[in-house]
Structure 1
Amino acid sequence: MKCSELIKKLEALAPLPMACDWDNPGLLAGRSGKEVKTVYLALDATDSVIEDAVRCRADMLITHHPLIFRPLKKVNDEDFISRRILKLIQNDISYYAMHTNFDAAPGCMADLAGARLGLTDTEVLEVMGKTVDDKDYGIGICGNFPHAMTLREAGEAVKKAYGIPFVTVFGDVEDGGPAVRTAAVCPGSGGSTLKEALRWGADVYITGDIGHHEGIDAVANGMAVIDAGHYGIEHIFTGFMEKFLEENLEEKLNVIKERDVFPNHVI
């Protein structure tokens, strides 16, 4: 199938108008008319991802995070961003990113993250708009754990749900810590929606990239925070997209996804 035909499927799943104004999803490099037989899925278009896509002879690279956020004045081998773009074009790999449109679309990132934790009675954390069938869409999700648990148990549940080696917890975990039942989840970087989680009255906020002051301020306002890292929740993108492409395309493609490797470590 052509790249443009595959893009129509991707944008039916996560329409571009659902993206935040500052974002830059879509076809970022390459030919829309490219014939696609092999797709490579990744969270980020890193050097190693692009090298692997070239090695696998991928026709199209699909990532969650866009490689290009700001306008490029030059495309050459002297800057790491433009060097990656150059390599993709040289190897005739069309490159597509689906970022906050995938975060916000119903059934995508937020719903997937909530389902992994078994959250019930869920609602959108930060509503951005409504779909044509009058359904809220937006960033994050808020709901209830199946049963109350301690903060320490919630941290363990987060690690298990997303298959990650560690989390950072803001809040008292001595003797297990306080009981938590209501959870707000914002995959990726959640500092901007922390106040929304407080407004929802969440017992715990599960997200990534929370700084020291944000964390202690949340606790001071009665809400614990479990920081799973930016990668920790969002890496579920690749597994979901692999299944989506296998189940929703008339033409079978060779789909390859990057190996899950947590990018930071506790030593």
Structure 2
Amino acid sequence: MFAKGQTVISCMEQLAPKHLAVPDDRIGLQLGSLQKDIKHVLIALDVNDEVVEEAIALDADLIIAHHAIIFRPLKSLNTDQPAGKLYEKLIKHDIAVYISHTNLDSAQGGMNDWMADALGIQNGIPLEEVYTETFSKLVTFVPATHHQAVLDAVWGAGAGTIGQYAKCSFSNEGAGTFLPQEGTKPFTGKPGKLERTEEVRVEILVPSSLASKVVQALVKAHPYEEPAYDLYPVEAKGQAYGLGRVGKLARPQTLGEFAEVVKRALDVPFVRVVGDDSRMVKKAAVLGGSGSRYVNKALFKGADVLVTGDIDYHTAHDALMAGIALIDPGHNAEKMMKAKTADWLRTKLEEKRCETQVHVSQINTEPFRLV
């Protein structure tokens, strides 16, 4: 069977949840409908006319791209203009477009982790935090016969993880009372009669972003018609997610040597370098895309060099004066997301036994060329 559109996106959002995006970023479904079977998905960095023609040739139903096709609210949709023509072609061929941008950048195991790994940056932490996981405490009461089933359900929904420890919970036994009213169908006892039953109190930590999903799993697995539960915020903080990565290199090297590493690892024909080629680089920062405004953040976190795209002339001079080196591989260095995202999505759909095919765009959307 083929995956439904929402199933494909649900898999994608396991990798790059929407709440990891920076405010006002243009992510999510930008064009078309997900209310259909998806036979072919095309993963692209950008969506231009060549990519759309590629999608048409593949008979693709959905394009998942990194960069938005609609950057600001539309005042009109003029199909005589280039953007309007592009939207028209997509609509006529029933191709939906879904964008995963800064949420993919921030995600654990996403864009910036991929780039950091490629460059040999070890144990990278975010250059700028976007989202820090908060927690709630879930407390519920369940008969001993269903204790393990309820635990398995809420664990499966994402509850009970503390750092590197999974399936964490606390349980103790006690007695619960309830009086079923007329018209109820209690799991134990009878309507109109006060019931006293042995129950287990369960306490478990729940990421706030998963609270709704966990409660749904609890209610589904619980044998009672009206399971009692409390869900309240706690002070504990979880993992921080954010843009960029900064950490020590696997081995110290000169800036000139590291520039060659960047060029090979990110598969770009050239890089622009700011700084003395002979200076030693021990700690590096990387940020996919346009990172001019993150130079000071990289400097503050002790980086000897920042690898990012779209460095402008004045930022380069400021970096020289501040004593931090820069390597600019261009914005298109993010193209590695195509194969990485496709591999992730393909695996998830295969686990669901879906026949949907996931394709990597072969179009080079780099707009610049050297002459």
Instruction: Normalising by structure 1, report the TM-score.
Output: 0.95
> CA separation in 2, counterparts of 1:90 and 1:37?
17
Alignment of 1:92-241 (within 5 A): 92-131=94-133, 132=207, 134-173=238-277, 177-232=278-333, 234-241=334-341
**Partner SS, residue 137 of structure 1:** strand
Q: Equivalents in 2 of 1:21, 1:70: separation in Å?
A: 14
Task: Indicate the structure (1 or 2) with the bigger Cα radius of gyration.
Answer: 2
Partners in 2 of 1:243 and 1:258 — Cα distance? 13
* Residue aligned with 2:38, SS: coil
- Note the alpha carbon deviations across 1:134-177, whole angstroms, 9 max, x for none: 1110100001111111111010000111111100001122xxx2
Matching residue of 1:243:
343
Instruction: Give the CA deviation at 1:84.
Output: 1.2
Give the AA of the match of 1:238.
K
Residue identity matched to 2:361: E
Distance 1:185 1:263 in 2: 22
Structure 1 unaligned segments of length 5 or more: list them: none
Task: State the partner residue of 2:85.
Answer: 83
* Pick aligned residue for 2:359 from 233, 256, 263: 256
Indicate the larger mover: 65-74 or 251-260: 251-260
Which structure shows the higher strand fraction?
Answer: 2
Structure 2: gaps of 5 or more residues:
134-206, 208-236
C-alpha distance in 1 between matches for 2:301 and 2:355: 43
| Distance (Å, rounded) in 1 between the aligned partners of 2:108 and 2:6 | 23
Instruction: Summarize the alignment of residues 13-24 of structure 1 with structure 2, pairs less than 5 Å apart.
Output: 13-24=15-26
What amino acid is the match of 1:195? N
After superposition, the Cα gap between the structure-2 partners of 1:260 and 1:32, relative to the gap in structure 1 and judged at 3 Å, is closer
In 2, are the aligned partners of 1:40 and 1:255 still within 8 Å (CA)? Answer: yes
Give the CA deviation at 1:7. Answer: 1.1
Q: Which amino acid aligns with 2:272?
A: T
CA positional deviation for 1:253: 2.1
Q: Give the Cα separation in 2 of the matches to 1:112 and 1:54.
A: 29
Q: Return the letter of the residue paired with 1:230.
A: H
Q: Secondary structure at the match of 1:53?
A: helix
- Write the distance in 2 (CA, Å) between the matches of 1:112 and 1:252: 27
- 1:14-48, CA deviations, whole angstroms, 9 ceiling, x for partnerless residues? 11121111311001111121210101111001111
CA displacement at 1:128 relative to structure 2: 1.2
Contact 1:39–1:254 (CA under 8 A) maintained in structure 2: yes
Change (3 A) 1:99 1:266: same
Deviates more, 1:257-266 or 1:136-145: 257-266
Match of 2:72 among 70, 73, 91: 70
Distance in 1 between residues matched to 2:34 and 2:263, nearest whole Å: 39
Corresponding position of 2:7: 5
Give distance in 2, aligned partners of 1:112 and 1:37: 28
Deviation at 1:265, TM superposition (A): 2.6
- String of CA shifts for 1:220-248, please: whole Å, max 9, x gaps: 1110000010012x111101111012211
Alpha-carbon distance in 1 for matches of 2:355, 2:66: 22
Higher mean Cα deviation, 192-201 or 220-229?
192-201
The residue type paired with residue 157 of structure 1 is V
Whole-angstrom CA distance in 2 between matches of 1:75 and 1:7: 26
For structure 1, which segment, 5-14 or 93-102, has the greater mean C-alpha deviation from structure 2 after superposition?
Answer: 5-14
- Checking the alignment, whether the CA contact within 8 Å between 1:45 and 1:65 is kept in structure 2 is yes
Q: 2 CA distance for matches of 1:252 and 1:117?
A: 35
Q: Over the residues paired in the alignment, what is the CA RMSD in angstroms?
A: 1.3
1:56 aligned residue (58, 74, 79):
58
Give the C-alpha shift of residue 260 in structure 1: 5.8
